[in-house]
Amino acid sequence: MSAPLLCEGRVVVVTGAGRGLGRAHALAYAAEGARVVVNDLGVGLDGAPGPGSPAGQVVDEIRSAGGDAVAHGGDVATTEGAASLVRAALETYGRLDTLVNNAGFLRDRMLVNLDEDDWDAVMRVHLKGHFLPLKHAASYWRAEAKAGRPPVARVVNTSSGAGLLGSVGQGNYSAAKAGIVGLTLVAAAELGRYGVQVNAIAPAARTRMTEGVFASMVAAPEGGGGFDAMAPENVSPLVVWLGSAASAGVTGRVFEAEGGRITVMEGWRAGPGVDKGARWTPAEAGDAAVKLLAGAEVPGAVYGAG
C-alpha cells in the first residue's frame, strides 16, 4: 500500500516558479498531490522582461505527470499582481492553503558602485514581492477564520545565507533577504491566531541566480550517477513539508537547506551583557563592550570577505 500524499487536496501558490528553485518546488508539491498556481513574470536575471513566461511550461510538466496546475503571469510586487495571484487560486480551485514566496533576481554591485535604481529594484522584487502576496493571502485566511472556517495555512518565505551573514557585492540582496527574515518573524506572530504558520528557508542550490557561484562545482559524478548536491530539487522536500499540514506547530523558524543537509538557523538573541544601573561614560561603555565581546561568540564570516 502506497503512503498517502503529503499535500493531497491542498492548493499551493509558488511565485517565481518558472525556473530554478520555484519550478522544483511547484513540481514537488504537485507530486505530493497539491493543485498548484505557478506564478512567473518571465523576466531576466536583472528583472528586465524576457522573451516569454515559462510558467506555462511548468504547468504542462505538472499536467503531463497527471497533476493539476494553472499559470499566473502577474507581477507579485504590485498590489494588483499579488491580489490577482490569490484570486487565481480562489477562482480556479476555491481555496488557498499554502503560499511559497520565491520570486527574485540579482543586481550585484559593490556598495560604492550600487545605484539607487539597483537598490530599489531588488528591494521591490524580493521584499515587496514577499509582503504583498503574504498580505493578500493573509486577508483571505483571516476572513476564513472569522467566518468559522479556520484554515490550516502555511507560508514559506525565501531568504538566503546572504541575508543571515551578508555577502560582499550584494548589499541590496543581503538587506532584502535579511528583511524577509524580519517579515517572517512578524507574520508568524501576527497570523498564528488565524491558523497560519510562517517559516523561511535559506537555500543553497544551482539556479540562474547562483550559476556563477557554483560554476566550479561538478553537477554530478561522471556517468550520470550519484548525488548532485547543488540541484534545486534538494531544497524542495523541506519546502513541501513546511507547506503541508504535517508541519503543525512549526512557525517563525528559518531553515538552511543545501544538498542533503538541513539546519535550523538560530538568529539574534541576547549574549553576554552587563547593567551598571546608571549612565555610562563613553570610556566606561567601551571598556564594558570589550569585556563582553571577549565572552561572546564570534559571528559567522560574511560571504566573499577576506
Strands 98-100 and 153-158, by their bridges, are parallel
pLDDT at 216 over 50: no
Q: How many helices (H) and strands (E) does the chain have?
A: 9, 8
Q: pLDDT band at residue 105, thresholds of 50, 70 and 90?
A: confident
How far, in Å, CA of 198 to CA of 130, rounded? 12
- Which triple of cell numbers denotes residue 101? 514566496
55-64 helix and 20-31 helix, angle to the nearest 10 degrees = 30
Tell me the CATH number of domain 11-265, given options 3.40.50.850, 1.10.3720.10, 3.40.50.620, 3.40.50.720: 3.40.50.720
* Cα angle 224-225-226, degrees, rounded to a multiple of 5: 130
Residue 30 CA: distances (Å) to CA of 51, 62, 127 = 26, 7, 26
* Average pLDDT over the chain, rounded to an integer: 91
Residue 220 CA: distances (Å) to CA of 223, 224, 267 = 8, 6, 33
Its pTM stands at 0.90
Q: pLDDT band at residue 37, thresholds of 50, 70 and 90?
A: very high
Of these residues, 128, 159, 167, 177, which one is catalytic?
A: 177
Of these residues, 173, 174, 194, 247, which one is catalytic?
A: 173
Counting Cα atoms < 13 Å in the Cβ hemisphere of 59 gives: 16
Residue 42 CA: distances (Å) to CA of 72, 146, 216, 299 = 11, 37, 27, 38
Is the model more confident about 216 or about 7?
Answer: 7
Summarize pLDDT for 52-94 with one digit per residue, the tens. Answer: 578 999 999 999 999 999 999 999 999 999 999 999 999 999 9
Q: pLDDT band at residue 226, thresholds of 50, 70 and 90?
A: confident
Of these residues, 53, 84, 160, 247, which one is catalytic?
A: 160
pLDDT at 220 over 80: no
Q: Report the chain's terminal Cα–Cα distance, integer Å.
A: 54
Catalytic (active site) residue 53: no
Catalytic (active site) residue 160: yes
Residue ranges per domain, the chain?
A: 11-265
Under 8 Å CB-to-CB from 109, ≥6 apart: which residues? 115, 118, 169, 171, 172
Under 8 Å CB-to-CB from 52, ≥6 apart: which residues? 42
Q: pLDDT band at residue 133, thresholds of 50, 70 and 90?
A: very high
Q: pLDDT band at residue 108, thresholds of 50, 70 and 90?
A: confident
Question: 254, 137, 232: which is closest to 194 by C-alpha?
Answer: 137
Q: pLDDT band at residue 41, thresholds of 50, 70 and 90?
A: confident
Percent of the chain with pLDDT over 70: 90
How far, in Å, CA of 25 to CA of 233, rounded? 7
Catalytic (active site) residue 177: yes
Summarize pLDDT for 245-301 with one digit per residue, the tens. Answer: 999 999 999 999 999 999 999 988 999 999 999 999 999 999 999 999 999 999 889
Q: pLDDT band at residue 206, thresholds of 50, 70 and 90?
A: confident
Is the model more confident about 3 or about 73?
Answer: 73
Question: 94, 89, 108, 107: which is closest to 15 by C-alpha?
Answer: 89
Is the model more confident about 226 or about 109?
Answer: 109
Is the model more confident about 106 or about 184?
Answer: 184
Instruction: Answer whether 183's CB lies under 8 Å from 157's CB.
Output: yes
